[in-house]
Amino acid sequence: MNFFQHQDRARRQSRTLLFVFILAVLAIVTAIDALLLVVVGVTSYEPNTPMLPPGALLQANLPLLAGGAVASIAVIGVASLFKITTLRSGGGQVARQLGGVLVESDPHDPLRRRLRNVIEEISLASGVSVPEIYVLEQESGINAFAAGYTPSDAAVAVTRGALEKLSRSELQGVIAHEFSHILNGDMRLNIRLMGALFGILLLALIGRRVLMHAHFGRSSRNRNGAAVLLVAFGLMAVGYIGQFFGRWIKAAVSRQREYLADASAVQFTRDPDSIGGALKKIAVYSHGSYLDADTEEVSHMLFGDGRRMLLFSTHPPLNERISRVDPYFRPEELDTLAASILREQKREQEESVRRAAAEGAGQAARGPFDAGSIIDQIGNPDWERLLMAAVVAASLPDHVRQAARSTEWAPEALFLTLLDGDPEIREGQLLIIAERMGAESEAQVRGLMRAAGLPEPQQRLPLLELAFTALKRRPPDFMAQMLDTVKALAEADGRMDVFEFLLARVIAQQLWESHNPDRVRMAGSKALDACRDESLRLLAVLARHGHSGEPAALGAFQAGCAALGLGSVAAMPDTADWVAVLDSILPKLDRLKPAAKEQLVRALTEVVTHDGQMVPAELELLRATCTLIHVPLPLLTA
């Protein structure tokens, strides 16, 4: 199952979730109305007066039952909407609710630094911006989660116990597992699940509170006391109904997704012992993955069970998860494995990076990718992408990398990527920075340029992805000013190149999405036939950027048309003003359904791989296109 099939399945599961949620609400409304009938019967009972038959009692109290149903639905609906509204600020909100502490751009704690390096490497390999990073400092269990509506507002949180007890490779396996949830649409479903179930779980809380704080002194001898007792126990029963449905829904949604995320982590790291080792450590440590915080709402989002569950656990049994990633594992081995796991030494980050550099260099010599392998790795990148990411991250000069991570200097790191190689044009660009952003900003850009020089073409995209986490923390008015400066820098030489287009459009889109995550749609419902002209124009733009001469571009264009099932198209559409063409067609192509997007991206990759090589311009254009239609392209090299 590839990225596009995962997206399609997530949409179907969202519809199933809505159906089951409605079913749960109806069950709760029925239970509350039954409770109201019992209370009315008890309070209206007279010793010498015959009781009304059930049908007559129901008929006589229809207005009361209707009011109870409306009130119940209103409480559940308002509570769910309230919860969804509070989660609009993104995954960081969930992490902070559980006590998460944001990891700064240059952490002094070596464990936090290792965590940031691992997440940055996996982000670069996956082709998504680096998410916000949190540590649950008060939690000694081994656990983690990813939260958010989209990759643009995602956050990854890891417990202190995971940092201290897992080796670097095991931490890499856990983070790769969480990135699978980010890439496959699980996060959005999980956030919706939190909001939908909050109203149901609220009734469980009300039921428990009423029972805990009700006092039944002498009043319990009369009918009013009996009514209070019935209300208390009735609400508690309703609460348990809500809790039952909530846990059932979460278990049904999350169990299979955990298996898939484990499998993706194995493909990503190419090491079953990474994710398997983390799961084994959870098994051998007492209270392995349990958290002290209340995890009822977020249990379905965690890497491991947040607490002991006797019914409807959101995660498959540990032994089954281990067996799936390590077929040779036997449960009885845990006793003997425990001692060796606890003695395992943490590998040093520098050794890992050097090994990654050596292996990545070997991989680079193996030649270009084919279209099929690129498609297979969208949303599910493999170990080679991780090695390449480690190499690229290690190649970034320290000054520039630290500036990109910094909230204060991330804009200057991006300005550096836009500086022209011509000294005269570059001086004009630096003057633009001074006029629009101030002399201090210009001085910082000059300092970065003196210390590290201009970035290489293959370093510019990683710098953009590293900087996004810091940029989205800046206020909207500053970001508008920065985007205006980016536009002016791009136009300083009288033309717009591909990277300048990518930088301006992708930052604008991702910043908007990070502030409006609930309004983002990862896919639409349009078929490819409805966007045939737009698809042809996109293929033509990409073909002309990656091939010298019209005949070569035409050959690549026709290869893309064949992948779209259009046969041979004799002439390419006019794309002289390619920026205007892309601005007009990409919003329409973003509304394609997942299967249509898969076919389109397959055609795009056929275009860029047609001549057996990829140049930076077509690679950057492919990345920009995929990002703007919400397809996370894995790390590729020109």
Q: Report the pLDDT value the prediction gives residue 338, as an integer from 0 to 100.
A: 65
3-class secondary-structure state, position 57: helix
What is the spatial distance between Cα 628 and Cα 306, in angstroms, rounded to a whole number?
A: 36
3-class secondary-structure state, position 133: strand
Using CB atoms within 10 Å of the CB of residue 155, give its burial: 0 to 12 exposed, 13 to 18 middle, 19+ buried.
buried
Whether 111 and 121 have beta carbons less than 8 Å apart is answered as no
SS (H, E, C) 522-574: CCCCECHHHHHHHHHHHHHHHHHHHCCCHHHHHHHHHHHHHHCCCCCCCCCCC
Q: Report the pLDDT value the prediction gives residue 367, as an integer from 0 to 100.
A: 41
320: number of Cβ within 10 Å: 13
Whether 323 and 329 have beta carbons less than 8 Å apart is answered as yes
Tokens of 468: 């996004």
Whether 79 and 195 have beta carbons less than 8 Å apart is answered as no
Catalytic residue among 132, 178, 465, 500: 178
Q: What is the mean pLDDT of residues 314-343?
A: 75
Question: At residue 177, does pLDDT exceed 80?
Answer: yes
Tokens of 223: 């009918």
3-class secondary-structure state, position 391: helix
Q: Which comes out higher in pLDDT, residue 199 or 405?
A: 405
What is the spatial distance between Cα 1 and Cα 558, in angstroms, rounded to a whole number?
A: 28
Token pair 């067996």: residue:
323
Question: At residue 348, does pLDDT exceed 50?
Answer: no
Q: 21-53 pLDDT, tens per residue?
A: 778 788 888 888 887 777 777 676 566 555 556
Confidence of residue 366 (pLDDT cuts 50, 70, 90): very low
Q: 578-626 pLDDT, tens per residue?
A: 889 999 999 999 999 988 888 898 889 888 888 777 777 777 788 888 8
Tokens of 444: 């910082």
Q: Report the pLDDT value the prediction gives residue 356, as an integer from 0 to 100.
A: 47
Residue 178 appears among annotated catalytic residues? yes
Q: Report the candidate in 103, 127, 105, 251 with the shortest Cα–Cα distance to residue 179.
A: 127
Query: Please, what's the b/e burial string for 269-279 (b: 16 or more CB within 10 A of its CB; e: otherwise)?
Result: bebbbbbbbbb
DSSP structural state of residue 348? P
What residues contact 589, with CB distance under 8 A and at least 6 apart?
531, 534, 535, 538, 597, 600, 629
What residues contact 352, with CB distance under 8 A and at least 6 apart?
168, 169, 390
What is the spatial distance between Cα 166 and Cα 161, in angstroms, rounded to a whole number?
A: 8
- Residues written for the chain: 638
389: number of Cβ within 10 Å: 25
Confidence of residue 157 (pLDDT cuts 50, 70, 90): very high
What is the spatial distance between Cα 283 and Cα 319, in angstroms, rounded to a whole number?
A: 8
Using CB atoms within 10 Å of the CB of residue 568, give its burial: 0 to 12 exposed, 13 to 18 middle, 19+ buried.
exposed
Tokens of 35: 């409770």
Confidence of residue 9 (pLDDT cuts 50, 70, 90): low
3-class secondary-structure state, position 168: helix
Q: Where are the beta strands (DSSP E) in 17-121?
A: 100-102
Question: At residue 135, does pLDDT exceed 90?
Answer: yes
- Spell out the domains of the chain, with CATH numbers in brackets: 92-187+258-343 (3.30.2010.10), 396-496 (no CATH)
The sign of the dihedral angle between the CA atoms of 196, 199, 203, 209 is positive
Tokens of 363: 């991989």
Q: Which comes out higher in pLDDT, residue 359 or 257?
A: 257
Token pair 């290489």: residue:
456
Q: 497-535 pLDDT, tens per residue?
A: 888 888 888 888 888 887 777 777 877 888 888 998 999
Q: What's the mean pLDDT when you consider all of the chain?
A: 79
Q: 230-259 pLDDT, tens per residue?
A: 766 777 777 677 777 777 777 777 777 888
Whether 468 and 590 have beta carbons less than 8 Å apart is answered as no
What is the spatial distance between Cα 26 and Cα 14, in angstroms, rounded to a whole number?
A: 18
Query: How much of the chain is in helix, strand and coil states, percent to nearest 5?
Result: 70, 5, 25
Q: 218-227 pLDDT, tens per residue?
A: 444 455 556 6
